[in-house]
Amino acid sequence: MIIKKCYIENFGVLSKRAFYFDSGLTEICEENGMGKSTLAVFIKAMLFGFDKNKRKDLDENERKKYKPWQKGNYGGYLDFEVKGKLYRIEKSFDDTEGDRVRLIDLASGGDTEDFDKDNLGASIFGIDEGGYEKSAYLSQRDPSCFKSDRLYTKLSDLLEEENDMGSYEDAMKLLEEAESPYKKRGGNDRITAIENEISQALSDLAAAEKHEELLSQAMPDKDALSKKLEVLEAEQKKANAEYAAAIEWEKYKRYKQAKDSYEAAIKDKSVAEATFNGKIPTSDELDDIERKLKVIDLEQSKHDEAKAELKEAQNKQNLLSAGETPEQKRIIELKELLFKEGLPAEGEIDEAIKAYRKSSDLKARLSEPLPPYKPDYKKLFLGSKVALSLAIVGVIVLIAGILIEILADRIAGKVVYAAGILSFAAGAYIVIAKYLKGKNEHSESHKKSVRGEYDIEEKKVRDFLARYGMTEKDPFEAIMQISKKLSEYVALSEKVSDEAKEAAEKIEELTLKIAEAENKIIGLKTEVSLYLRERGEEADDLYQAYKNLRDRLNIYEIRRGIEVAAKRNLENCEKPEREFEDTQQEYDTRELRQTLNKLSADIDETRKALIRLDNDIAYHTDYAAQKCYYKEKTETLKERLKKEKYYRWIVQKTKACLEKAKNNLAEKYIGEIRYAFGRYLSVVTGKKIEVLVNQELGYEIHEGGQYRDIKYFSRGYRDLFDICQRLALADALFKDEKPFLILDDPFKNLDDKKMQAANKLLAEIASKYQVIYFVCHTSRKLGLS
């Protein structure tokens, strides 16, 4: 590729600038800041566009860094030649509308698709921007900046085709990851895991086959057991028939026995029944008889008791009649002592007590002061007409006198006045005198009255006491005593009276009672006796007769019960289907039963065995049914194992081939690089230099009889050597379409002598490459363009 012309519309500091390039060396010497590096970046942007990163650091975001400050189109175009054909790449960078790119065939003037316009550099050279930067573009940065990179990384960067994102290392890492499941230790790898699964599946399959085998063995056993069951069931059937006959015989026997028993019971009952003369007593009737007998006993007891009581009452009555009772004797005594004259009348003692109390009161009053005189004032004032008249006249005259004194004559008034006073006073005197009189009379009469009353009462008490001969004693005490004695007398009298009455009543009552009892007893006895006789009991001792009857009834009841039971028994007995001869031989039902039981047990056992066997068969069947599953599983796992082994082998083989390819590549290019490197070193040093290049693109220079590390050399030499190395790399890599080389002042560290060597080198490469050489100092101008 040859760059012909570069037109910058606006890019960084450059605006509306055109640059023309020779096919060989184009030297551009300008001061710092004039845009040399900008031009280099513009060319790179035309070929590769901008990196799409959005980093803020300007040094890492060239799109932002070179955005023109002035308005206008951000971009430009590049005219270039490839294989004799002229093209133009136009680019306009626009963050809003998007970048516009055109690739124009300058001969036709129209757009062309000979190359990918969006990735022109890669399309033409087969390298991406990174590869371009590392090879064709030698910037001012340390030329040996990639020295530490591995060769294959550089190569892969340089040699990556479009859209190829991987690298050898990443690829190997991916393959390692793919292989890692197969490399785990301790039997944890995938292959071992599948083999273990196969083992397990085979084991399961063997188990299923074993179950199938057991199943095969179980089936004949089942047949045998089934046959055995058949035989047993046949025997059971036969035994059942015989047993049935035995049962029938037993049934017949039982029925006959029941029938005989029933007939015997009827007969016995009839015998018992006959003793009752056709009148069979009932239990209730006998209970009634018993009750009556008890009543008879009871009545008899009552009768006897009543009789005793009657005798006692009669005795008492006799005593009372004779007056011989203690009470009667006491009454007589009291009469003798106190009540010869007769008993005190009702209320007399109370009167005596009252009289005593009153006399005591009166006596006390005699010594008490008089009660205050309270006259009847109305009568006192208004009762005496004279007094009243005088008083009234006196008031009138008084008033008249006052009036006269006031109104007329004082002396006359006074006189009248005085007359009035005198009249009133006379009236008042009469009243007072009346009062005094009354008071005296009151006092006298009071005394007289009290004394009189006292005497009366006193006499009453004395008279009372005298009647009972108790005058010497204290009156009150004497009255009390009399009262007490009277109470006693009365009480005793009443008692005696009551007793007599009671005795009479009792005698009457008892007599009645006795009569009733006797009647009752006779009646009941007659009744009971008749009842018993009718039923065949003739005994004087009714109770014994009752007992006998009761016994006979019990016997009858028992026999009747036996008859009922025998009847029920007969009814419950199953009627035999047939009759048997009496000569029929006994069946040994016990033995038959035992045989049947044994057969039943055997059949049961056999059935259980069959069930167990069926269960076993089902169990084996279930497992055996899994056989095809395990078989398929085994096959599937084997297939999978095969695939996994194949996959592992493919991964390993891929790794091996990739490594081999890497080494081949390295070997191929190392040789070429070594040759080119040696050649370029010879140019700069003027002598033949042997160089050793390793796969990491590290190199050693043969100097002083041995290969020496680059670090042994001076900085200037190292710069030169690195440039040679990169040129050698470019030589090795770009065989078809040579790229242009941009050297952005790479020799700034060289001294004059080495600068001459650099000149030679540039001349050498300019013969093969289009070289665009930027320099900012005239001392580094080459003067070759």
Partner 1 sequence: MKIIHCADIHLGSALTAHFNKEVADKRNNEVTLTFERLAEAARSQGVRAVIIAGDLFDQKSVKKSLIDTVLKAIAGAPDTDFLYLKGNHDKDTPFPPEDMPENLKVFGTDWTYFDYGDVTIAGVRLTKENCASVYGTLNLKAGRTNIVVMHGKLVRTSGKAPEDAVNILKLAGKNIDYLALGDYHAYQKDKLDGRGIYCYSGCLEGRGFDEFGEKGYVLLECKRGNISDEFVPFAKRSVIVLEADISGAGGQADIEKAIGTAVQGIGKENLVRVRLTGLLSPETYKGINYLTQKFADRFYYFGIKDETRVKIDYEACKDGVSLKSEFIRTVLADASLDEEQKEHIIAMGINALMGERYEL
Q: 206, 386, 436, 661: which one contacts partner 1 (CB under 8 A)?
A: 661
Nearer to partner 1, 237 or 653 (CB): 653
Three-state SS at 617 = helix
Is residue 68 a contact partner of residue 74, using CB atoms and an 8 Å limit? yes
Q: Where are the alpha helices (DSSP H) in 93-150?
A: 120-125, 129-135
Q: From the CB of residue 745, how many other CB atoms can be counted at a distance below 10 Å? A: 18
CB of residue 182 to partner 1, shortest distance in Å: 14
| Residue 577 per-residue DSSP state | S
Q: 23, 123, 140, 167: which one contacts partner 1 (CB under 8 A)?
A: 167
Q: 82, 86, 159, 755: which one contacts partner 1 (CB under 8 A)?
A: 159
CB of residue 218 to partner 1, shortest distance in Å: 10
Here's the x/- map for partner 1, 593-632, by CB under 8 A: it reads as -------------------------x-xxxxxx-xxx-xx
Of 49-57, 415-423, 644-652, 745-753, which part binds partner 1 (CB under 8 A)? 644-652
Is residue 785 a contact partner of residue 26, using CB atoms and an 8 Å limit? yes
Q: Does 202 bind partner 1 (CB under 8 A)?
A: no
- Supply the DSSP string of 367-393, one letter for each residue: TSPPPPP---HHHHHHH-HHHHHHHHH
Token representation of residue 245: 């006959």
Nearer to partner 1, 224 or 628 (CB): 628
Task: Say how far apart CA 171 and CA 420 lie, in whole Å.
Answer: 171
Q: 333, 574, 635, 709: which one contacts partner 1 (CB under 8 A)?
A: 635
Q: 388, 402, 422, 665: which one contacts partner 1 (CB under 8 A)?
A: 665
Largest CA distance in the chain: 203
- Three-state secondary structure string covering 621-677: HHHHCCHHHHHHHHHHHHHHHHHHHHHHHHHHHHHHHHHHHHHHHHHHHHHHHHHHH
Q: 126, 130, 469, 716: which one contacts partner 1 (CB under 8 A)?
A: 126
Of 162-170, 288-296, 365-373, 753-761, which part binds partner 1 (CB under 8 A)? 162-170
Q: Does 135 bind partner 1 (CB under 8 A)?
A: no
Nearer to partner 1, 321 or 636 (CB): 636
Of 134-142, 477-485, 641-649, 770-778, which part binds partner 1 (CB under 8 A)? 641-649
Q: Does 171 bind partner 1 (CB under 8 A)?
A: yes
In this structure, which amino acid lies at residue 728?
A
Closest Cα partner for 273 from 552, 534, 531?
A: 552
Q: 34, 106, 174, 207: which one contacts partner 1 (CB under 8 A)?
A: 174
Tokens 């179980």 found at: 218
Sequence length of the chain is 785
CB of residue 632 to partner 1, shortest distance in Å: 4
The footprint of partner 1 on this chain (CB under 8 A) covers a number of residues equal to 57
Angle at the Cα of 339 from the Cα atoms of 361 and 458, rounded to 5 degrees: 20
Q: Does 164 bind partner 1 (CB under 8 A)?
A: yes
Nearer to partner 1, 485 or 631 (CB): 631
Here's the x/- map for partner 1, 213-252, by CB under 8 A: it reads as --x---x---------------------------------
CB-side neighbour CA atoms (13 Å) of 331: 17
Q: Does 653 bind partner 1 (CB under 8 A)?
A: yes
Token representation of residue 685: 């040093």
Tokens 């003739």 found at: 538
CB of residue 621 to partner 1, shortest distance in Å: 5
User: What does DSSP say about strands 699-703 and 706-709: parallel, antiparallel, or unpaired?
Assistant: antiparallel
CB of residue 627 to partner 1, shortest distance in Å: 6
Nearer to partner 1, 181 or 576 (CB): 181
Cβ-based burial of 40 (10 A; exposed 0-12, middle 13-18, buried ≥19): buried
CB of residue 61 to partner 1, shortest distance in Å: 25
Residues whose CB falls within 8 Å of the CB of residue 407, separated by 6 or more in sequence, listed in order: 413
Q: Does 687 bind partner 1 (CB under 8 A)?
A: no
220-227's contacts with Cβ under 8 Å and 24+ in sequence apart are 221/613, 222/610, 222/613, 222/614, 222/617, 225/606, 225/609, 225/610, 225/613, 226/610
Q: Does 650 bind partner 1 (CB under 8 A)?
A: yes
CB of residue 237 to partner 1, shortest distance in Å: 20
Cβ-based burial of 320 (10 A; exposed 0-12, middle 13-18, buried ≥19): buried
Token representation of residue 418: 């005085």
Token representation of residue 25: 């060396």
Here's the x/- map for partner 1, 413-452, by CB under 8 A: it reads as ----------------------------------------
Instruction: Name the β-bridge partners of 744.
Output: 774
Range 718-747, binding partner 1 (CB under 8 A): 733, 735
Nearer to partner 1, 209 or 516 (CB): 209
Angle at the Cα of 392 from the Cα atoms of 391 and 394, rounded to 5 degrees: 65
Of 151-159, 323-331, 335-343, 463-471, which part binds partner 1 (CB under 8 A)? 151-159
CB of residue 204 to partner 1, shortest distance in Å: 12
Q: Where are the alpha helices (DSSP H) in 468-541?
A: 475-534
Q: 44, 303, 552, 662: which one contacts partner 1 (CB under 8 A)?
A: 662
Q: 13, 172, 388, 470: which one contacts partner 1 (CB under 8 A)?
A: 172
Task: Say how far apart CA 44 and CA 50 lie, in whole Å.
Answer: 8
Token representation of residue 631: 């078989």
Task: Say how far apart CA 140 and CA 22 lie, in whole Å.
Answer: 22
Q: 85, 660, 688, 781: which one contacts partner 1 (CB under 8 A)?
A: 660
Q: Does 165 bind partner 1 (CB under 8 A)?
A: yes
Q: Does 175 bind partner 1 (CB under 8 A)?
A: yes
Three-state SS at 10 = strand
CB-side neighbour CA atoms (13 Å) of 510: 18
CB of residue 132 to partner 1, shortest distance in Å: 15
Please report, as ranges, the residues that interact with partner 1 according to CB under 8 A: 126, 152, 155-156, 159-161, 163-168, 170-172, 174-175, 177-178, 208, 211-212, 215, 219, 618, 620-625, 627-629, 631-633, 635-636, 643, 646-647, 650-651, 653-654, 657-658, 660-662, 664-665, 668, 733, 735
